[in-house]
Structure 1
Amino acid sequence: MTEWQQRPLDRVYPVVFIDAINVKVRDGQVTNRPIYVAIGVTLAGERDILGLWAGDGGEGAKFWLSVLTEVKNRGVQDVCILVCDGLRGLPDAIAAVWEQTVVQTCIIHLIRNTFRYASRADWDRMSKDLRPVYTAPSDAAAEARFDDFAEVWGTKYPAIVRLWRNAWSEFIPFLAYDVEIRRVICSTNAIESLNARYRRAVRARGHFPTEQAAIKCLYLATRALDPTGRGRARWAARWKPALNAFAITFEGRITH
């Protein structure tokens, strides 16, 4: 496991997703602890799981600086877009390690968090009203569409309006990209299939004696993923239009 966690990585990743899965660790008493996973999309369009790190839920810039510095020291010189779900301290750490990297709020998580505040009876209509915001052709158009959304839903669900306003500066970079790049950022297949595998592995164990035992469990689940490589090949076949869009948008940076 140590060898895998310290292995050399690619020089450039067009996109890196950082996500978390909560595990139960028995440390005197059973508590929830986040294990963070970084998933890179390679220049070949393949999913590359860069590593696993244990946190305590109160991570700040210092924690993320150590994680990202470790990733950089393993050979990663550039990341075009890093997608995360509002992790405190992460944007500051990214700026210190890869100053050109764009921090992008995970659109899927933002939409899911929206529905947590809404009655299920309103989900369909709210989804229809929200779609013009994240499919808008520009940030000005998105702001106008969100004003329309807030006018309809703001009185009933003020927390949803606040959620989007607070995430707005990390949301709007998404709107400047070609549709092919938007699809990569919004594609949850690679992340969701990994998380589903992780959740099954964690449920089978219940709780863990130590953080290291939890990481080892997730490591074994990681190594068991897609043993034939067919899933990666299918995903890579849809990658070429996105790679062309990345090469144009991030000119001079998409190199082996």
Structure 2
Amino acid sequence: QVVNKAAYMVVGIDLEGQKDVLGIWIGENESAKFWLTVLNELKRRGVEDILITCVDNLKGFSEAIAACYPKSDIQKCVVHQIRNSLKYVSYKDYKAVTAALKPIYKASTEEAALEALDKFEEAWGSKYPLVVRSWRGNWDELATFFRYAPEMRRLMYTTNLIEGYHRQLRKVTKGKSIFPTDESLTKMLYLATMEVTKRWTMRVQNWGQILSQLLIYFPERIEQYIL
């Protein structure tokens, strides 16, 4: 019997501006219960606080974060939101719809973004109401990055950081789609991860400026660790 499972990874950036893989989990389905198990494990292993959590649109993840790290700001990945939106769009409208969505997430303020969303709804709402409903339904967690400066926004509004890591893992797993046990898959992913993270020697770009801003946003949560 073949059981379909997925591998999930958490990548973090610490207060030194260094990124690292915090864990790899194998699961059959996405649920708040599964994510709560993941987050509780991170907490037990010493992740005391998460300032901002950037997530794909995974079912139950936001609820689990709110339960385990209630102070964390949640940012849903805009790129994943666009991909999910295009599922409802006719292929001939792909380019036009993608172009019409761009002013929303490229806006300088949340107010301007909402105006762009209104314009999108005027142009495409009658043809693709599910797209509009999805953006409005997820808006609170899609718009989080508008609170922050441009340097931080680039880190937040997509999960590019982990997407690049995933591409490296797929290079070693693409030739083997079936694994006899969860442990065998985890071992392969772990060994590949060790090779990938050897190259993660540089701090995140503009980290000094980003940390200065984080100190203003979250002074009481950061100062105890760096001052």
**Normalising by the residue count of structure 1, what TM-score does the alignment of the two structures yield?**
0.79
- Mapped partners of 1:115, 1:144: distance in 2: 21
What is the number of residues matched between the two proteins? 224
Per the alignment, residue 215 of structure 2 pairs with 247
CA change 1:31–1:50 in 2 (3 A) is same
Tell me whether 83-92 or 119-128 shows the greater mean CA deviation: 119-128
Q: Is the 8 A contact 2:77 2:159 kept in 1?
A: no
Which structure's relative contact order is higher, taking Cα pairs within 8 Å and 6+ residues apart? 1
Q: Is the 8 A contact 2:53 2:72 kept in 1?
A: yes
- Mapped partners of 1:121, 1:250: distance in 2: 45
Per the alignment, residue 55 of structure 1 pairs with 27
Q: Is the 8 A contact 2:54 2:158 kept in 1?
A: no
Over the matched positions of the two proteins, sequence identity in percent amounts to 39
- Mapped partners of 1:241, 1:165: distance in 2: 32
Q: Is the 8 A contact 1:36 1:55 kept in 2?
A: yes
Q: Give the deviation of 1:101 after TM superposition.
A: 0.6
Q: Give the deviation of 1:87 after TM superposition.
A: 2.2
Q: Is the 8 A contact 1:133 1:146 kept in 2?
A: yes
Matches within 5 A, 1:46-85: 46-57=18-29, 59-85=30-56
Q: 1:232 aligns with which of 201, 216, 224?
A: 201
CA change 1:236–1:113 in 2 (3 A) is same
Q: 2:123 aligns with which of 131, 146, 152?
A: 152
Q: Is the 8 A contact 2:20 2:197 kept in 1?
A: no
Q: Is the 8 A contact 1:134 1:175 kept in 2?
A: no
Q: Is the 8 A contact 2:56 2:159 kept in 1?
A: no
- 1:129 and 2:97 aligned: no
Q: Give the deviation of 1:152 after TM superposition.
A: 0.9
Q: 2:9 aligns with which of 37, 50, 60?
A: 37
Question: What amino acid maps onto 2:68 in structure 1?
Answer: V
- Mapped partners of 1:121, 1:188: distance in 2: 27
- Mapped partners of 1:106, 1:79: distance in 2: 17
- Mapped partners of 1:215, 1:97: distance in 2: 25
- Mapped partners of 1:135, 1:247: distance in 2: 25
CA change 1:45–1:187 in 2 (3 A) is farther
Question: What amino acid maps onto 2:162 in structure 1?
Answer: I
Question: What amino acid maps onto 1:35 in structure 2?
Answer: A
Per the alignment, residue 82 of structure 2 pairs with 111
* Secondary structure class of the residue paired with 2:42: helix
Instruction: Map Cα deviations across residues 58-101 of structure 1 (whole Å, 9 max, x no partner).
Output: x3222222211110111111101111122222222222222211
Q: Give the deviation of 1:102 after TM superposition.
A: 1.2
* Secondary structure class of the residue paired with 1:252: helix
Per the alignment, residue 20 of structure 1 pairs with none
Question: What amino acid maps onto 1:163 in structure 2?
Answer: S
User: Which segments of 5 or more consecutive residues in structure 2 lack a partner in the other structure?
Assistant: none
Q: Is the 8 A contact 1:184 1:242 kept in 2?
A: no
- Mapped partners of 1:106, 1:52: distance in 2: 20
Q: Give the deviation of 1:146 after TM superposition.
A: 0.3
- Mapped partners of 2:144, 2:133: distance in 1: 19
- 1:217 and 2:188 aligned: yes
Q: Is the 8 A contact 2:11 2:19 kept in 1?
A: yes
Q: Give the deviation of 1:168 after TM superposition.
A: 1.4
User: Which segments of 5 or more consecutive residues in structure 1 lack a partner in the other structure?
Assistant: 1-27
CA change 1:51–1:168 in 2 (3 A) is same
Higher fraction of strand: 1
Q: Give the deviation of 1:42 after TM superposition.
A: 1.6
